Structure 1
Amino acid sequence: MAEPETTTHPELRPASPAWRPGDERPDIHSILRVDQAGEFGATRIYAGQLAVLGDRHSCAREISKMALQEARHLKRFDELLAERGVRPTLLQPIWNVAGHALGAATALISPQAAMACTAAVETEIDKHYAGQLRALGAEEPELAATIAEFQAEELEHRDSAIAAGAEDTFGYPVLSALIRAGCRAAIALSKRI
């Protein structure tokens, strides 16, 4: 039976097998680089949304709460990069502008479109983190625990966005697909550059 695309209960996922001789070891530098970049991008998306929405809309409080969690995630990945001597992605200036622009643009469409952006991004991040947890297995238990904790919070963000009307956005399937494709591209680039 195939594993579901996303899981709403990380504690129900089967344990990842440990690394075995002959298996490719996970690229920890790449994992840390891309995760730090993703959390940085998320903080910029929320900053863009809040710059447009301010506190005038009911979703602003929820977005502010998510932004605080993303800032905590970013802080932890910044610490891990420093501890392990990993350079951040060279694309960070691009993600700075692109993240803020994406957040602002979706918020300009509507508060529901801002939530659609969150739902799309967090759906992709759930898949991304799940893949990392499979790759890590028992190799890096502390890092895996951090990723699993953050993954659970990202799923909360996705679920909150959907509850706030993300799927009611005009053109939601197209908007979601475009944002998810952008996330996949950003992930692929940030791993290496």
Structure 2
Amino acid sequence: MALRSAYSALGGPSLPLKARTTPLAFQLQSRSRNVSSRALSSTPKASQAHTAPTDPPLQSLTKEQKQFLESALRVNHAGELAATLIYTSQTPPIVKAHPHLRPLMKHMYDQEAGHFKTFNHLLAKHRIRPTAMYPVWHAAASFLGWSTGVMGREAAMACTEAVETEIGEHYNNQVRELLKWDEEAKARGETLGEDLEALMTDIRRIRDEELEHLDHAVEEDAKMAKPYEVLNGVIRAGCRGAIWVSERV
């Protein structure tokens, strides 16, 4: 798909530069390197391979980077909550009318539940509060899922297509930002560190699974929903509004 191919090209703020080495420190480092060189010369090559230097991780995040991560994880958590509630509310009427869709609905719900669990863990780990709009999004997502579910298979799939389009773009922007941080860190001889690298891996995986849901929705005639343009436009606008609010509240 054109949307998926657009997500394959990815490219985020910089951190403090390393402190400059003073002349005295440079002399001490030079002596240390001479001693280390003599010690290594008497060490078997196999042992030397294990002592190869590696780039250090980032020492700290800027205020802007911390704010970006907090708002990103807060929005991701709220979005995955909404996704689980949409599928929970859609499934009964959809499966009743189209029993063959039960495995697909369960598959998509199970993946969303896994995403929600991941961001639940990350919020707790980094002591980030959920959005204050949590109860509102809970009610809104449940209503959206139920209403599109009773409208029929096409409307339910149109809902999935609209939601996953916005969520996919949102995750893609986060990956692009983290890749930018990675490039800037490498330019300073640093690495992102285990936590940020793991986060980028998780977001990429989750983004790809969301896009898989989008593909399933299109295959199940999302674009045949009536009125498709109205449903798609209203739901996507609602998603963008919810993201904007959750980033700030």
Question: Counterpart in 2 of 1:129?
Answer: 171
1:100 and 2:135 equivalent? no
CA deviation after TM superposition for structure 1 residue 169, in Å: 0.8
Name the amino acid aligned to 2:3. Answer: T
CA deviation after TM superposition for structure 1 residue 111, in Å: 1.0
Of all paired residues, the percent bearing the same amino acid is 39
Q: After superposition, what is the alpha-carbon deviation per residue over 1:103-133, rounded to whole angstroms, capped at 9, x for unaligned?
A: 1100111111001000000001111111111
Q: After superposition, what is the alpha-carbon deviation per residue over 1:29-52, rounded to whole angstroms, capped at 9, x for unaligned?
A: 111100000000000101110133
CA deviation after TM superposition for structure 1 residue 134, in Å: 1.4
Any stretches of 5+ residues in structure 2 without a counterpart? 17-61, 183-191
Structure with max Cα Rg = 2
Q: What are the residue-to-residue correspondences of 1:106-117 with 2, within 5 Å?
A: 106-117=148-159
Distance 1:8 1:159, change over 3 A: farther
Question: Counterpart in 2 of 1:50?
Answer: 91
State the alpha-carbon separation in 2 of the partners of residues 56 and 108 from structure 1.
10
Selected match of 1:13 from 9, 27, 42: 9
Question: Counterpart in 1 of 2:212?
Answer: 156
Question: Counterpart in 1 of 2:113?
Answer: 71
CA deviation after TM superposition for structure 1 residue 164, in Å: 0.5
State the alpha-carbon separation in 1 of the partners of residues 13 and 245 from structure 2.
26
1:174 and 2:215 equivalent? no
Give the paired residue count.
187
Q: After superposition, what is the alpha-carbon deviation per residue over 1:13-68, rounded to whole angstroms, capped at 9, x for unaligned?
A: 24x2x643589536111111000000000001011101333444133321221000
For 1:25, what is the secondary structure of its paired residue?
A: helix
Question: Counterpart in 2 of 1:25?
Answer: 65
For 1:20, what is the secondary structure of its paired residue?
A: coil
Any stretches of 5+ residues in structure 1 without a counterpart? none
TM-score relative to the length of structure 1: 0.89
CA deviation after TM superposition for structure 1 residue 141, in Å: 1.7
For 1:59, what is the secondary structure of its paired residue?
A: helix
Please report the RMSD computed on the Cα atoms of aligned residues, expressed in angstroms.
2.1
For 1:7, what is the secondary structure of its paired residue?
A: helix
CA deviation after TM superposition for structure 1 residue 95, in Å: 1.0
State the alpha-carbon separation in 1 of the partners of residues 166 and 94 from structure 2.
24
CA deviation after TM superposition for structure 1 residue 168, in Å: 0.7
Name the amino acid aligned to 2:76. Answer: D
Name the amino acid aligned to 1:25. Answer: Q
